[in-house]
Every structure is written in structure tokens, then in C-alpha cells.
Amino acid sequence: MAVEPWLGDACGLVEEFRAKTISPSEALDTCLQAMERSSLNAFSFVDEERARAAAADADVELPFGGVPFGVKELEPVAGWPYTEASLVFADRVSEHDATSVERLRATGAVLVAQTTASEFGGINCTSTALHGTTRNPWNTERTPGGSSGGTAAAVAGGLLPIATGSDGGGSIRIPAGFSGLFGLKATYGRVPKGPRVGVEPLTSVIGCLSRSVRDTARYFDACNGFDPRDPLSLPRVAGWEQGLGTNDLAGLRVAILPDLGTAQVRPEVAELVTAAAAELARHAGLRIVEVESHLPALRGEWAMAGQVAFLADLGGKYPECIEQLSMEMRLGLELYRQTYSLEEAARVETYRRNLNEAMADLFEAADFVVAASNPDVAFAAEGPPPSTLPGRDLINEIGFARAVMNNAALTAPSNLNGSPAMSLPLCSLDGLPVGVQVLAAHHREPLLLDLALVAEREVGWPLTAPGAPV
């Protein structure tokens, strides 16, 4: 007898396995069937044979024992394609697992499929020459975001209960906001990025997109902790799930800054975020404080820092591979190759220093800062990210550089600073989700998770898009 697709959270599925209500093999079957029927284009590779073997042998007493998992295609999995969503590496196959993937396997996760991403994680929609366009299950004409777009589409679309993501400029929080999911970007280094990790521009972190707070807490229990192959990874912290709900939030200070003092946000989105933040503050007993933001305006600083790692990734294939790159990646690389100099590098470092000081000022004045996760609801699935808002031409208003970066202006500061932030699916507009972003100081993920738990219990959110699986 066919089993209905599992539309609860991953922890609940483990409970069903242990109660013998459903088996891992049955759950995997329903996922594979839903994936086969789906029109979302959320996957670039499906490993059905190995997944079936893992499900049949699953130890359901393990934390993720038998849970079907997706892995973002920027994370290597041994034997899977490792294209980084680019034609340049269309034929490359990974010879190793990422450290985080090894740790997921050790907790019983059944790795089913690779989820689509934007090319090299470079922009916040998921549409590539290699894999085509990934679609949002809330409205298939819209993007689920990027670069973790396939993960967002799969989880919100009812195809998999949980999947991994990464966030170098908002790539967990942006798709979480666009697709109605919970997404936490942890403190930089929380989950190691090895093996064979470069220094990179010190912005990208690994995590997941999930339907519940406890799923995300369990993921970090599984994957966090120092690994010598990533010398910048942090010491292990235990008890993420066990500690949920143990922090007293009453009296903590929250600043509500829908535009974070640096982005251009659609007024209707700002109003929804402000109202949701006030309601959440009431439920959690937070004290709303007036805080002024002095974050420096984001132009090309985040993108410029990332081009160094991008060029290193291409290695000896550049410049011969230039025609295989998307227009956005090609133009960005060429622009920064022509303009990057010692003076420009110094300007980026000066910007980062000023940003760090401004973020520290925010967190001295407030324990939480609430902003929108995105300036507007999800844009067209094929992209590109818009440089406009309804009725406004941002290029003429604020200049080309700021307008182009506006879609990341709300999220990238936490990446450049390295501090944690999360997106909560608490609002909707035009039939599409609106994410409420909450920022906190370094290492304060337990407070963020407990605030998310209050939101989940007192306000609630749909675990999947209406009509999922799509």
C-alpha cells in the first residue's frame, strides 16, 4: 500500500520509525515517488540505489536514523557529481565526503539526492545553464531563492523533510524567507568546511533548511565541532536540541529595524516584519528598544572578497573557461579582475572593519535585531535578482552598485561580520512567504533557537507550501 508523503519534520519522522508506524524504506519510497512527479527541478542528481541500501540498513535509534536527506551541490559527496552548478566542472565527480556529510552519515541520515544551487553560489536565485531553473513551490513562476534554492524547493515542496545549505551572503536565509522555511546561519566556523578547504573570504558557513526548530538544532548537534582540516572551525558545542527552551528570554532587548538601516525594503514587507517582531517580542517577554543603525552601505565589498575564492576554484581552467560561465559570474569576475588592486583590497578591509564596529554597536544596544530577510517577496524564477522595488528604480535612487547589491544588503552584513542570524517564516504577502530575520552576536545561537521556538509554538508556520508535494 502506498504511503502518503511525509509532510512533518525530520525529528517526527524518526519518532514514527521508532514506533514502527512507517519504515525508512517506505519513507524513502514516498520521497522518490514525489521527486519523480515534481515540477520544481530541485535536484541535480539522485542516488536511488545507495539510498535504498542505506534505508534498508538504517539504525533508527540514531539521531537521524533513516531520514531521507538532500545535500546542496556545493557540498562534496563521494561518488556524486561535484559541478558547483557550473558547466566548467560538468564532468567532475567528488572523491570524498565533506566533513559535515561524514557526520550526517554517522547519525543515520540517508543521503538521497543533490539539491540544485546557483553557479558557485554566486547569486540569490537558482537558474543555471547546467541544470535549468528551480521553482518555488508556493508559486512556480517565482524563485525559491539561492544559492540554496534546490534545498528550499525540496523541503518546502514536500519532497524531502530536510536538506543541507550554505550561506556566504544570505544563501540559507534568503531561500528560507522566499520559501517559508526555518533557516539559521550559524557563527562562522560552527560547522567545519573541510577537507581541502581554502581560507576563502571568511563569509561562508554550512547549515540546513528545515521545517522545525528542533530539526535544525539536531542538525547542529550532528555536524558542529572543530576539525583540523578546517583550522578556522570552532570547538564542539553539545546539547543544541536538549537545550531548547532553557534560556530565559524575558527582559532581553530587541531592536526592530526592517531595513537594517542600509537596505531598501518594500513598505508592505517592512510593515509585516515590524508587526511580527512586536508580536514575537510580546510572546517572548522581550523589551523593545530604539536603536540607530550605522551599518555602512553595501556596494561591491562582499562580491569583491568572494572573487578571490572563485578564481582560485577555477584554477588553471581560467581564462579558457570564460565562455562556459554565466553572464553574472563572467561579468563579475572580469570587472573585479580589472579593478582589484592593493588600494581596492585595502578599501574592502576598511569596509569590513567599519562594518564590524557598527555591528558591535548594534549588539551592545540590543540582544536581538529584527529585520526583513529579503527586500520583497520572491522574484521571477529565471532571475536575475531585481534592482527595483514596486514603483521604484533603485539604480536612479541609490546608484548602480547599491541597487545591484540590495537583494543581499539585509543578509550579507552577518556574513562579513561572522555573526549568527536566522529567518523565521512568520508572514506572507501576495500569497508568498515573507521571512523575518533575527540577528544576534557571535556564539548566541542558543538564544536565537529559543526565540525561534517561541515563534514556532506561539505563532506557528506551515511546514510545507500549500498543495505540497509539488
User: DSSP string spanning 446-468?
Assistant: HHHHHHHHHHHHHT---SS-TT-
| pLDDT of 461 | 98
> Mean pLDDT across the stretch 92-119?
98
Q: Which of these is catalytic: 38, 44, 72, 326?
A: 72
Is the pLDDT confidence value at 1 over 60?
Answer: no
Closest CA to 257 of 295, 299, 291, 234: 291
Model confidence at 336: pLDDT above 80 = no
Cell digits of residue 155: 523541503
- The whole-number average pLDDT for the span 447-457 is 98
At 123-143, the pLDDT tens digits run 999 999 999 999 999 999 999
157 and 468 in contact (C-beta within 8 Å)? yes
Give the start-end residues of each E strand in 318-381. Answer: 368-372
Lowest mean pLDDT among 108-117, 164-173, 298-307, 418-427: 298-307
Q: Which domains does the chain have, with CATH numbers?
A: 10-300+334-458 (3.90.1300.10)
Which stretch, 39-53, 304-318, 325-339, has highest mean pLDDT? 39-53
pLDDT digits (tens, 9 = 90+) for 257-295: 999 999 999 999 999 999 999 999 999 999 999 999 999
Q: Is 147 a catalytic residue?
A: yes
> What pLDDT, in 10s, does the model give residues 413-450?
999 999 999 999 999 999 999 999 999 999 999 999 99
> How far apart (Å, rounded) are the C-alpha atoms in residues 398 and 144?
26
Q: What is the mean pLDDT of residues 367-387?
A: 97
Task: Check 86, 127, 148, 171 and give the catalytic one.
Answer: 171
Of 38, 44, 86, 147, which is the active-site residue? 147
Confidence label for 62 from pLDDT (cuts 50, 70 and 90): very high
Residue 452 CA to residue 460 CA, distance in Å, equals: 10
pTM over 0.95: yes
Query: Is the pLDDT reported for residue 2 higher than 70?
Result: no
Q: What are phi and psi of 158, to 5 degrees?
A: 80, 15
Task: Indicate the SS3 state at residue 438.
Answer: strand
Question: Can you tell me the distance from the alpha carbon of 203 to that of 191, in angstroms, rounded to the nearest whole number?
Answer: 13
Mean pLDDT of the chain: 95
Q: Confirm whether 38 is a catalytic residue.
A: no
pLDDT classification of 218: cutoffs 50, 70, 90 = very high
The sign of the torsion formed by the CA atoms of 122, 128, 131, 134 equals positive
Q: Check if 171 is active-site.
A: yes
- Grid cell listed for 73: 551541490
